């Protein structure tokens, strides 16, 4: 089913993001965790496309499995990195032929350690907008999602530039947006207001990641440049050597964050699960999502 058809049935969606397991042990672990997560009956799930296109075949196998063997509404991520126009259309057509209709189209990040940042392929796409527009033109009957950044994409000169580019991306054919994770809900609501003012009308689903280990703090902040509310940060710092206390602080924070988002009108939650189930299951059950 297309994500837009799910929107017609559900005022709020609850979805999970996975990445393809890197080896056999990780695959077993993933199997156990996804077993717990699918009991929650998510509205849809999505599978990332590894940096630099590194997980291409594993992403494709996993979306095929989740959609056609497990029967989940599944979104395949795809990026511009390393993709010529013809290669991208060949890939998306092959997924379309397997019944996949939902694509999360991103510019993508280069491989970790790459010195030069994003470099478009010869005869490829310079940004996600070009990929979205080309896909709209060449792939029939599909539903397209795009990424959005409440705290501004790190390469953008400012928020105004970023939101104008986002408007172009939506105009090129995005049906919905999912945000980078954030911890300060006001940033999300201000961003949604700015998006509405500029004429973006599609759903903007907040992406949430439970921060439940002290070691995640630096990584998450570097990845998204997300601001962390001072009281939460203090709690993490105070308990940095007590992993159970950090877990509890992170869970309490994530539950309050999701409650607040939903109460103030967010159209659901997209959980970055990191292929683990415990935190997401606990949050989901506490929210009593049906």
* Residue 91 engages ligand FAD in binding (rule: CB under 6 A): no
In the complex, the smallest distance separating the C-beta of residue 136 from ligand FAD, rounded to whole angstroms, is 15
Q: Nearest-CA neighbor of 201 among 165, 220, 176, 232?
A: 176
Does residue 135 belong to the site contacting ligand FAD (CB under 6 A)?
A: no
Please select the residue that binds ligand FAD; options are 165, 216, 227, 286, rule is CB under 6 A: 165
Contacting ligand FAD (CB under 6 A), which of 42, 82, 108, 124? 108
**Active-site annotation holds for 17:** yes
Select which of 17, 111, 151, 218 is catalytic. 17
Kindly tell me which residue out of 13, 43, 48, 135 binds ligand FAD, with binding defined by CB under 6 A. 48
* Residues 112-131, mask of contacts with ligand FAD (x by CB under 6 A): ---------------xxx--
Of 45, 125, 122, nearest to 79 (Cα)? 125
Cα separations in angstroms, 91 against 84, 161, 241: 11, 31, 46
- 231-258 as b/e: b if 16+ CB within 10 A: ebeebbeebeeeeeebbebbbebbbebb
d(CA 16, CA 44): 7
Contacts with 22 (C-beta within 8 Å, 6 or more apart), sequence order: none
Phi, psi of 43 (to 5 degrees): -65, -40
The answer to whether 269 and 208 have CB atoms below 8 angstroms apart is: yes
Which of these ranges, 43-51, 182-190, 229-237, 261-269, lies near ligand FAD under the rule CB under 6 A?
Answer: 43-51
Q: Which of 106, 170, 209, 269 binds ligand FAD (CB under 6 A)?
A: 106
Looking at beta carbons only, is 49 or 284 nearer to ligand FAD?
49
DSSP state, 99? Answer: T
107 binds ligand FAD (CB under 6 A): yes
Minimum separation from the CB atom of position 288 to ligand FAD (A) = 25
Min CB(238)–ligand FAD separation in Å:
31
Q: Whole-angstrom Cα distance, residue 91 to residue 49?
A: 12
What residues act catalytically?
17
Which residues of this chain interact with ligand FAD, rule CB under 6 A? 48-49, 51, 77, 79, 104, 106-109, 127-129, 147, 153, 155-156, 161-162, 165, 168-169, 178, 180, 207
């Amino acid at each position: 089913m297309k994500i837009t058809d799910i929107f017609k049935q559900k005022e709020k969606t609850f979805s999970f993001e996975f990445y393809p397991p890197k080896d056999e042990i990780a695959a077993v672990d993933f199997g156990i965790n996804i077993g717990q997560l699918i009991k929650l009956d998510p509205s849809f799930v999505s599978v990332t496309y590894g940096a630099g296109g590194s997980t291409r075949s594993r992403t494709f196998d996993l979306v095929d499995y989740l959609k056609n063997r497990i029967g989940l509404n599944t979104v395949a991520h795809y990026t511009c990195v390393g993709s010529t126009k013809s290669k991208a259309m060949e890939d998306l057509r092959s997924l379309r032929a397997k019944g996949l209709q939902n694509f999360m189209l991103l510019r993508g990040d280069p491989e970790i350690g790459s010195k030069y940042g994003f470099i478009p392929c010869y005869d490829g796409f310079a940004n996600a907008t070009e990929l979205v527009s080309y896909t709209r033109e060449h792939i029939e009957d599909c539903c397209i999602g795009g990424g959005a950044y409440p705290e501004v994409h790190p390469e953008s000169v400012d928020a105004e530039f970023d939101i104008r580019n986002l408007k172009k991306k939506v105009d090129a054919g995005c049906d919905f947006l999912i945000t980078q994770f954030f911890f300060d809900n006001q940033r999300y609501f201000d961003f949604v207001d700015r998006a509405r003012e500029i004429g973006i009308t599609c759903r903007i689903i907040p992406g949430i990641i439970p921060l439940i280990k002290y070691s995640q703090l630096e990584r998450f902040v570097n990845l998204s440049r997300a601001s962390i509310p001072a009281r939460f940060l203090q709690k993490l710092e105070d308990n940095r050597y007590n992993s159970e206390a950090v877990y509890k602080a992170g869970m309490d924070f994530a539950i309050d964050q999701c409650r607040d988002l939903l109460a103030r009108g967010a159209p659901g939650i997209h959980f970055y699960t990191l292929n683990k189930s415990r935190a997401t299951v606990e949050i989901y059950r506490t929210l009593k999502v049906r």
